[in-house]
Amino acid sequence: MKFKVAENIETLVPYPPGKPLEELEREYGISGSIKLASNENSLGPSPKSVAAISKALFNLHRYPDGSCYYLGKALAEKIGVSPEQLVFGNGSNEIIELLVSTFLQPGEEVITSHPTFLVYHKMVQAAGGVNRVVPLRQFTVGAPAADGDAYPLGLCHDLDGILGELSAKSRIIFLDNPNNPTGTVFEKKEFDHFLARVPEDVIVVLDEAYVDFVDPAIRIDARDYLNSKTPVVALRTFSKAYGLAGLRVGYGFMPAEIAGYIHRVRQPFNVNSLAQIGALAALEDDDHYRKTLDLARDGIAWLSREINQLGCRAFASQTNFFLVDLGFDGKQVYEKMLGKGVIIRPMNAYGYPHKIRITVGLPEENERLVKSLAATLDELRNG
């Protein structure tokens, strides 16, 4: 075949999704596996969402509401914005893509961090843009460990470094806050200092996929920046705290003018009917939402203590996941854990070959993970 592929697509590496449970059990011939790799909600979806979706199944022959009217109205009231400031997407991933396709021309630049959510880099490259990447900065929190090393380490966005990358070609800055995969956040004072120095023709995107899990005392309220001179867009999702990852529904709130331009680009039925119905019901289930947050906070605390006792180093996190420094190749640990029916996330693709990322599970899943990790580390240490 003689078709031609653009160079930016030819060199684009596909996003590496987490291994599905079904694939693991098919490959290894096992059952009863657990997945603590993709930052999903281990409680599952809200029962109210399941009930609402079940009632809607007989209407699947109808096209969705292209405006997400009822979901938009309820969400706007809940978070305190206007419906005109909302854009819904097939997951917040789609809104990332829409921002890039709407506001970036080939050769123009987007500034991101490393490591960060890999989709930013891929969308920019696919659009013919230029990625300017700033490494996360390292900091120390807590007391020294018994061996004298600073512990635990944290990795967060280098906002000053990002400012240093700004140029006349800069169009968008993506900041996942909390960061994926480190789980760290920057606070309001830092962000205010940063935003005051960003030119008014650059869009600053706060990706808040995990904002629900952040300690309210240090959480940035993105609504405060809807009228700032430098435009700010906040992205959120129903995949994490609301447990609807399989439905793919996310949203952004932003200045209405920016939303208006994105609506010119997005597909007319980009959020399916069941996603809209499930998300609307999830918004009303405060009990399930609170249980999700409690599960994550309690699980992080327990898992961190247990994993540190195995001779590893758990990083502090403001999300439902956390990094672990193993002292071994993360891919090797990942593969051995698969044989035990436990899926974790190796960080080799993020440039952290000795680290893994673990999602908080149900208490019994957390216990199984710790036992499996302990057995795996013993096998590796004993050759």
Give the pLDDT confidence of 145-176 residue by residue, as tens digits: 444 443 456 789 999 999 999 999 999 999 99
pLDDT given for residue 243 in this prediction: 97
Of 318, 364, 382, 352, give the one whose Cα is nearest residue 36.
364
Per the domain annotation, does 2 fall within a domain? no
> b/e map of 130-159 (b: 16 or more CB within 10 Å)?
bbbebebeeeeeeeeeeeeeebbbbbbbbb
Indicate whether 230 and 345 sit together in one domain. no
pLDDT given for residue 150 in this prediction: 38
Among the residue ranges 3-17, 108-122, 153-167, the one predicted with the least confidence is 3-17
Number of folded domains that form the chain: 2
pLDDT given for residue 285 in this prediction: 97
CATH of residue 349's domain is 3.90.1150.10
Indicate whether 262 and 160 sit together in one domain. yes
The C-alpha torsion from 71 through 75 and 81 to 83, rounded to 10°, is: 0
Per the domain annotation, does 228 fall within a domain? yes
Domain boundary among 262, 283, 304: 283
Domain span holding position 343: 7-45+287-381
**Tokens 């809200």 correspond to what residue?**
46
CATH of residue 186's domain is 3.40.640.10
Per the domain annotation, does 109 fall within a domain? yes
Handedness of CA 157, 163, 166, 171 (dihedral sign): positive
pLDDT per position as a tens digit, 301-322: 999 999 999 999 999 999 999 9
Give CA separation, 100 vs 106, 119, 176, in Å: 10, 11, 16
Domain boundary among 283, 301, 321: 283
Indicate whether 171 and 255 sit together in one domain. yes
Write out the two tokens for 383.
């050759």
Indicate whether 81 and 25 sit together in one domain. no
Indicate whether 210 and 344 sit together in one domain. no
Indicate whether 97 and 227 sit together in one domain. yes
Q: For residue 248, name the pLDDT band (cuts at 50, 70, 90).
A: very high
Indicate whether 234 and 183 sit together in one domain. yes
Indicate whether 136 and 258 sit together in one domain. yes
Residues found in the chain? 383
Indicate whether 120 and 141 sit together in one domain. yes
Query: Does residue 207 register a pLDDT over 90?
Result: yes
What average pLDDT does the segment 113-133 reach?
94
Provide the residue type at 144 as one letter: P
Average pLDDT, the chain: 92
Per the domain annotation, does 234 fall within a domain? yes
Per the domain annotation, does 1 fall within a domain? no
CA distance 335 to 343: 9
Indicate whether 102 and 166 sit together in one domain. yes
Indicate whether 209 and 88 sit together in one domain. yes
Burial group, residue 7, by CB count within 10 angstroms (0-12, 13-18, 19+): exposed
Query: Does residue 2 register a pLDDT over 50?
Result: yes
Please measure the distance between the N-terminal and C-terminal CA atoms of the chain and give it in whole angstroms: 49
Write out the two tokens for 21.
């449970």
CA distance 144 to 146: 7
CA distance 18 to 35: 9
The SS3 assignment for 75 reads helix
pLDDT given for residue 22 in this prediction: 81
pLDDT given for residue 141 in this prediction: 58
Indicate whether 227 and 129 sit together in one domain. yes
Per the domain annotation, does 97 fall within a domain? yes
Per the domain annotation, does 78 fall within a domain? yes
pLDDT given for residue 140 in this prediction: 67
pLDDT given for residue 142 in this prediction: 52
Of 17, 32, 33, give the one whose Cα is nearest residue 338.
33
Domain boundary among 283, 303, 325: 283
The full DSSP string for 153-216 is: EEEE--HHHHHHT--TTEEEEEEESS-TTT-----HHHHHHHHTTS-TTSEEEEE-TTGGGS-G
Percentage of residues in the chain with pLDDT exceeding 90? Answer: 84
Burial group, residue 21, by CB count within 10 angstroms (0-12, 13-18, 19+): middle
Provide the residue type at 316 as one letter: A
133: left (phi over 0), alpha (psi -120 to 50) or beta: beta
